[in-house]
Every structure is written in structure tokens, then in C-alpha cells.
Amino acid sequence: MENPTPPNSQEEETATNINRRNLLTRFGIAGLALPAATYGAAYLTGSRSQQGASLSHAHGNHFQPLASVKELEHISVEGPGNPALVIPKKNFRPYPTALPPVGTEKVKTIVQEVRSDTIVQVTEGVNYPGWSLDGKIPASVIRVRVGDTVNYTLKNQANQGHSIDFHAANAPWNKAFHTIEPGKEFSISWKPQYPGVFMYHCVTPLTVQHVANGMYGMTIVDPEESLPPAREYAIVQSEFYFKDGAIDYDGMSAGTPQYVVFNGTANQYQNYPLIAKAGERIRLYVLNAGPNLWSAFHAIGAIFDVVYTEGNPRNATYGHQVVNIAPAGGAICEMTLHEPGLYPLVTHSFAHASRGAVAMLKVI
Ligand SMILES: [Cu+2]
């Protein structure tokens, strides 16, 4: 597959990241890469074999075996997304949607570095001057398990104060989520108690500005006993307020974005569809980072046979045509599709979908 520039222009990208991407590309699985280096080295090294293991590991499930990575070649497709917002394949690399395995370590050590110089390519010719928690927008998926100990450090390399707010943690705001001045760092240790799909973000005032500028990511807390294997993808819906080449602060306050996107870039998965094999279990981890709009998450041509509200398996409901996800809300949406074809994923608030929140799911 092509290996052009990353979706978020990350000039500060480390040699480790670049080498790792080359390695993954060589094995043809760059699209399945753990997005970024914020997990410790233990997460990065061996992730290829762990990925394979996570896809084939049996938990007594009755689902059809999952397709191998090699079968999932990226293919361009025509789709219902606004054609004006579809980025050509040339010089673009989609934000990875596949997930890191949760890992067996009981202690998860995570270090993130705040940046104020993270450019995200929202669509062709629109480069948003964002802020980020780890050099990418959205920030990397953090995946832990109930009962783990999470040792997290935030280093503020930006030129103003920032902070961290883990929705997956029980921690007092005034102690855990206070603003860290430039050049300083802050560490917090917490234990996930509830499984789910949670938001983490900067909470420094004006928070709408810090979130709209890109300071958010998804935390997945796996239950103590893993869910059965599935083709897993992560999707973060969010908004960008950018008009005439400048940040639209009025729109930010009014909640009228120019772009509504999945994983930072409008319609990027039209050229790089998410792939699943007919008959295999598809599990979508969905977070609505907002900061302002609701998501009416829907798969065109498909019904989610089970949805775990907030990503907690105890919140199972069945047969969803649409999933209502509030700003900061999360969900796990599962389905098994038996007929090959295209199943676009959208927010069914079509005014927002037409601003970029369309992803193509291709069943082969
Ligand atoms: Cu911030």
C-alpha cells in the first residue's frame, strides 16, 4: 500500500515512530499500527505479534475465524460522503483505526507530551493549527483493563497551561485535573473500575477551546474477562471550527462547526475503508469527543445487533438502527454482516455527516 505523509503533520515525530512505521509498512500492516508512541516501549515492541494473537485468540467463541491482515487490502470506493471533502490518496495517510491489544501487564505506564504545534489535515487544503496531548489529533487510544494500575504522566511542552481529565478515573478535579504550566509535568496513578469507552481530554479553561483544538482521545477499559475476538475499530467523532483560514471562535462558542469528522479528517475512510470479512464479528469502539454536537451513529445498510452503552458490557441493548452518543459519550457497536458490500458509517444528523462524518465499511 502507499505510505505517504501522515494525516497529522507531525514534524516532531520521533525516529522510533518512523522506524516503527516503516517496519509495519514492510509487513503491510501500517493501517493496523498502534497510533503513536504514548504507550511504553513494551506496548510498541511485539505489537505485531500481539495484534495477530489478539485476532486469533479463542475465548470459546462461536464466531467465524477472523480474516488475516493480508486479506484486508485498502481499496478506494465510491461513497455517500460529500465529494468535496474526500481527500485524494496521494500524500495522505489515514489515521489508524485498528486497536492495540490491552496487554497483560497489570501496571500500565503512559507518558504523553502536550504540543501546541500539531497540524491536522481536516480536509484537502485545510490544515488546522491544533494542540494535542501527544502529537496527534485525536490522541492515541489508551487501552487498559479493569483492575490495572495506570501510571500516567503529562509533560507540558506547550507554551501555555494545559491539563488532563480522565473520564475513566474517579479522582477529584481540583487535585487530579488541575492546569500544568509550560515546562512542568504532572503524574497521576489510578485504577480503572468500570469497563467502557471513555473520553480523556484537556480541561483547562476555556475547555471548549482546548477540546476543539484537538486535546482529546479515547480510553478503552476492557472488562476483567475479555469480550470475544472481533474485527475491532476505533472511531472518534469530533468537530473543527475553521473559517477563511482562521479558527472560528464564534462558531466554537455557538456550536456551529465547519467540519465534523471521524478520527480528525473528513471522509478519510472513503479512500481507505475499514475492512471486514463477511461473517466475522465487527466491534466498533465509538467516542464522541464533541465538544458540542451529539452523534447519531448509524451504519447505512446494517443494524447493530448489540450495543454496549458507554462501552460497558452490562449495558447491552439489541437491534439498534442508531446510537445516541452525547458529547463525551462512548459506545461499543457490534454487528456481523453476511453479505459483502459497502456499509457507510455516519452520524445520521446529516447536516453533520455532510461536513465530513462519513466512514466506509467494506465487507468482503
Ligand atoms: Cu489544554
DSSP secondary structure string for all residues of 54-67? HHH--SS--SPPPP
Give which of 128, 81, 138, 118 is closest to 269, Cα–Cα: 81
Mean pLDDT value of segment 79-88: 79
Alpha-carbon distance of 81 to 361, in angstroms, equals 12
Mean pLDDT value of segment 132-147: 97
State in Å: Cα 161 to ligand 1 middle. Answer: 7
pLDDT-based confidence at residue 71 (cuts at 50, 70, 90) = very low
CB 229 within 8 A of CB 66: yes
In this structure, are strands 274-276 and 361-363 parallel, antiparallel, or unpaired?
A: parallel
Q: Which residue has the higher pLDDT, 57 or 250?
A: 250
Q: Is 210 helix (H, G, I), strand (E, B) or coil?
A: helix
- Residues of the chain with pLDDT > 90: what percent? 68
Q: Can you name the residues that pair with 342 across neighbouring β-strands? A: 362
Give which of 38, 66, 39 is closest to 53, Cα–Cα: 66
Alpha-carbon distance of 253 to 80, in angstroms, equals 29
Q: Is 12 helix (H, G, I), strand (E, B) or coil?
A: coil
Alpha-carbon distance of 126 to 139, in angstroms, equals 19
State in Å: Cα 226 to ligand 1 middle. Answer: 33
pLDDT-based confidence at residue 77 (cuts at 50, 70, 90) = low
Give me the pLDDT at residue 84, please: 82
State in Å: Cα 23 to ligand 1 middle. Answer: 33
pLDDT(38) > 70: no
State in Å: Cα 43 to ligand 1 middle. Answer: 26
Give the contacts of 252 (CB within 8 A, at least 6 positions apart). 208, 209, 212, 241, 291, 292
State in Å: Cα 205 to ligand 1 middle. Answer: 8
pLDDT(24) > 90: no
pLDDT(66) > 70: no
Alpha-carbon distance of 213 to 202, in angstroms, equals 10
Q: Where are the alpha helices (DSSP H) in 112-258?
A: 173-176, 207-212, 249-254
Q: Is 208 helix (H, G, I), strand (E, B) or coil?
A: helix
State in Å: Cα 107 to ligand 1 middle. Answer: 26
Give me the pLDDT at residue 295, please: 98
Give the contacts of 11 (CB within 8 A, at least 6 positions apart). 117
Mean pLDDT value of segment 223-250: 95
Alpha-carbon distance of 311 to 142, in angstroms, equals 14
Mean pLDDT value of segment 16-28: 32
Range from 7-21, 187-201, 262-276, 309-323 carrying the lowest mean pLDDT: 7-21
Alpha-carbon distance of 294 to 208, in angstroms, equals 15
pLDDT(304) > 90: yes
Q: Is 88 helix (H, G, I), strand (E, B) or coil?
A: coil
Give me the pLDDT at residue 21, please: 35
State in Å: Cα 179 to ligand 1 middle. Answer: 8
CB 270 within 8 A of CB 358: yes
In our burial notation (b when 16+ CB lie closer than 10 A, e otherwise), range 152-182 reads bebbbbbeebbbbbbbbbeeeeeebbebbee
Give me the pLDDT at residue 57, please: 33
- Residue carrying C-alpha cell 446529516: 350
For the ranges 66-75, 117-126, 322-331, the one whose mean pLDDT is highest:
322-331
CB 307 within 8 A of CB 316: yes
pLDDT(92) > 70: yes
Query: Phi/psi class of residue 221: alpha, beta or left (left: φ > 0; alpha: ψ in -120 to 50)?
Result: beta
State in Å: Cα 277 to ligand 1 middle. Answer: 40
State in Å: Cα 184 to ligand 1 middle. Answer: 13
Q: Which residue has the higher pLDDT, 283 or 3?
A: 283
State in Å: Cα 162 to ligand 1 middle. Answer: 4
pLDDT(13) > 60: no
Alpha-carbon distance of 98 to 116, in angstroms, equals 26
State in Å: Cα 38 to ligand 1 middle. Answer: 17
- Torsion angle defined by CA atoms of residues 78, 284, 323 and 358, in that order, rounded to the nearest 10 degrees: -20
pLDDT(141) > 80: yes
State in Å: Cα 207 to ligand 1 middle. Answer: 7
pLDDT(15) > 80: no
- Residue carrying C-alpha cell 481540583: 174
CB 327 within 8 A of CB 290: yes
Give me the pLDDT at residue 344, please: 96
Tell me the pLDDT of the chain averaged across its residues.
82
State in Å: Cα 313 to ligand 1 middle. Answer: 31
Mean pLDDT value of segment 90-102: 88
State in Å: Cα 215 to ligand 1 middle. Answer: 6
Give the contacts of 169 (CB within 8 A, at least 6 positions apart). 150, 176, 188, 190, 192
Give me the pLDDT at residue 79, please: 67
Alpha-carbon distance of 34 to 74, in angstroms, equals 17
DSSP 169: S
Give me the pLDDT at residue 176, please: 83
Alpha-carbon distance of 152 to 160, in angstroms, equals 20
SS3 content of the chain, % helix, strand, coil (to 5): 15, 35, 45
State in Å: Cα 325 to ligand 1 middle. Answer: 23
- Residue carrying C-alpha cell 482529546: 216
pLDDT(157) > 90: yes
Mean pLDDT value of segment 96-111: 92
pLDDT(10) > 90: no
State in Å: Cα 33 to ligand 1 middle. Answer: 26
pTM above 0.85, yes or no: no
